[in-house]
Structures are given as C-alpha cells and as structure tokens.
Amino acid sequence: MKKKRQLPLPAREHYFQRKREKKVLRSRLQSIGQQSGTLIHIGEKRVEKAEIKAIGYDEGQAITLVVKDAAECIALKERFGVLWIDVAGLHETGVIEKIGEIFGIDPLTQEDILHTGQRPKVEDFERYLFMTFQMLEFNSESGELSQEQLSIVLGPGWVITFQEIPGDMFDPVRQRIGSIGSKLRKHKADFLACSLVDAVVDHYFSILEEIETRIDTLDAELMASFSQETFSALNFLKRELIMFRKAVWPLREVIGSVARDDFAVVGDMVEHYFRDVYDHIILVIDTVEVFREIVTSMHETWLAGVNNRMNEVMKFLTMIATIFMPLSFIAGLYGMNFRNMPELNLSWGYYAVLGLMVLIVVGFLGYYRSRRWY
C-alpha cells in the first residue's frame, strides 16, 4: 500500500520535517531581569551591522546618502524639506541611541524600537509621533509567513524608520521620491510616513493574493483526493492566517487613531490619506476573516469527503460479502460428507445448485440497485 501520489505543495515537507524556527512568541527571555529603561535589543540578532540610508528631498531636489556613522545625521537634519533616515538592523543599540539623541527621541521610544515582537501601537510625544507594527513577508515556496518589526518616528520635517533587516517593500516609495513633480515631493514628512504605511499595507494585499492562490490550489487538490497531506497543508494555512490576523488586527486601532485624532505632526490633508489607509486595513482584516471561513469550510469538505469515501468502501465490501457468503454456504453444504444426501445423486443436482446461485446473485444485485448502491 505504497503512496504514489505526492502533494505538490511545498508546505508539506516543511510541515512534516518540522524544521521551522518561527515561533508565535519571540523569545523575551533575554529581557527578563533587565532594568526597564536600559536599551537592549530583544529578538534574534539578524544582521551584523546596522545599515543607515538617508534620503533628503524637497520639491527641487532629492539626494540619497549611505550614512556610515549615526553622528553624520546631525549635519543632515535641517538641510532638506523632508529627511528620511532608514535604519536596518537593531542589534547595535549605540546607533539607535545616537540617532535618538540627535532627533530628541525619548528613551522609552528607543526601548520600544529595540524590543521586537511588539504589538502594533501608536504613541504621541507631541514633538514626534511613534508608530510600530509588523511588516509581513510570505514565502510562497514554503508557504510560511515571516514578520519583521517596523518602527516609524515622524517628526517635523523628518521620518526615521527602523527595520530588523535590510530589504523592504519601500522601493516604489523611493522611486516616487526620485521622480520630479511627484506628489510625494510636493508634500511634507507626514505624507512620506503615510506613503510608507501604505506601502506596508499594500504588501499585505499582495500576500493575501498569494494566499488566495494557495487556497485555490488546495481546493482543487481537495476535490481530487482526500489525503491526510492535503488536510495538513490546510491546517498549516489556517495557522498562517491566525498569525496574519494577530499581526494585522491591532493596526486597525493604530491607523484609526492617526486618521482620527489630532496629532501635532500630522496635517489635516494627510489625515485624509491615513483614512484611506485605514479603509485598506479594514479590507485586509475582512479578507483574512473571509479566508478563515473559507478554509474552515474546506476543512469540513475534507471531513465530509473522508466520511463519504468510507461509506463507499463499506458499501462495496457489504455488496461483495453479502453476495458471496450465501454462495459459499451452499457450496459448503453440498461439500458435506453425509452418507445419505439424496440431492447429490441427482444427475441435474449440480446444475440446479448453479442455477440457484445465479438467482441469488441476481436477487442481491437487484436489491442493491433498487437502493441505489451502485
């Protein structure tokens, strides 16, 4: 009874080999026993050295710089209409501290930046606005969702972003900064912050599309066979959706608050754009919920299919068994060795028995047909 069919989904082996390191919880053990207020990076050390990129622009110009030393930022601070400093890598707490000092970022905020695995939140410090949430990445090969914390500090004339590793979904934003006359160039720092958040949310949509493709693949496979592998892949997908929702759900309040409340550093005009982003997040959440319901209904289909298949198997067994049991009994009957069995001596006895057997077979088949068993 070897299995020949293979689940053409990468999820399977991942699931069975259980190599995945991703956890619901990022370990916070390092921080336990630590002085609250001391800058410590909580999370795995993902990169060796923090990369700092600065982009300064206003309507007329747009300059991209690679910053070697955090201290260089002082020089940049008020040189541009809008300054965007992007820090990738949180392990070097010195860098964050230095930047924090230059831009007047509260130590409490610095802590929040360093502690990855946070729940999304927004905090208003009057002179700047602090937002933190999770960027998601869907590995379409392994079917796994990975997350990376993004912190955005929005001050008057500057935006600082902190990511865990280099590489992000902000290239379109950078491109738009680069093109003369783009809307981004005409607006202030708050619009940049909004564009960045929007880019993250847009990426959620593209993940949702990949998940939808996956759901469709699994659905097609479900129709073809009701194997345990499909079920496991389905369950794996379900968990990824649970993770997705956990990451995205609190964003609702966060962006809702930015769009609604009057924060000093966010203009009325940009609040409107944030309201747009808010609508998108609601749409993301709605869609995740719909996907969860669809996965649940696929789960039920699977179970129903297995039940049904069992039913088929049992009907088949019952048909075969109930037909052959009487036949074998009759054969056994005339195989008895009693001395006095008159039928055995009849010359047409054998043929009569054969005829009886045919009658039995026909009778059972008719009965099963009448009950629509085949």
Interacting residues with a second copy between 325 and 354 (CB under 8 A): 325-329, 331-341, 343-350, 353
Q: How far is the CB of 368 from a second copy (least distance, A)?
A: 10
Q: Which of residues 237-276 bind a second copy (CB under 8 A)?
A: 238-239, 242-243, 246, 250, 272-273, 276
Q: Is 315 in the site for a second copy (CB under 8 A)?
A: yes
Q: How far is the CB of 83 from a second copy (least distance, A)?
A: 20
Pick the stretch among 69-77, 137-145, 159-167, 288-296 that binds a second copy (CB under 8 A): 288-296
Separation of alpha carbons 39 and 47, rounded Å: 18
Q: Is 183 in the site for a second copy (CB under 8 A)?
A: yes
Q: Is 34 in the site for a second copy (CB under 8 A)?
A: yes
Q: Is 30 in the site for a second copy (CB under 8 A)?
A: no
Q: Is 303 in the site for a second copy (CB under 8 A)?
A: yes
Candidate residues 264, 317, 356, 359; the one interacting with a second copy per rule CB under 8 A: 317
Return the structure tokens found at 184: 């981004």
Candidate residues 104, 209, 264, 366; the one interacting with a second copy per rule CB under 8 A: 209
Q: Is 63 in the site for a second copy (CB under 8 A)?
A: no
Candidate residues 10, 65, 202, 256; the one interacting with a second copy per rule CB under 8 A: 202
Is the CA virtual torsion 59, 61, 62, 68 positive or negative? negative
**Strand 121-124, strand 82-88: pairing:** unpaired
Candidate residues 141, 279, 355, 366; the one interacting with a second copy per rule CB under 8 A: 279
Q: Which of residues 81-140 bind a second copy (CB under 8 A)?
A: 108, 112, 118-119, 121
Candidate residues 28, 45, 49, 260; the one interacting with a second copy per rule CB under 8 A: 28
Pick the stretch among 55-63, 76-84, 88-96, 169-177 that binds a second copy (CB under 8 A): 169-177
Q: How far is the CB of 73 from a second copy (least distance, A)?
A: 26
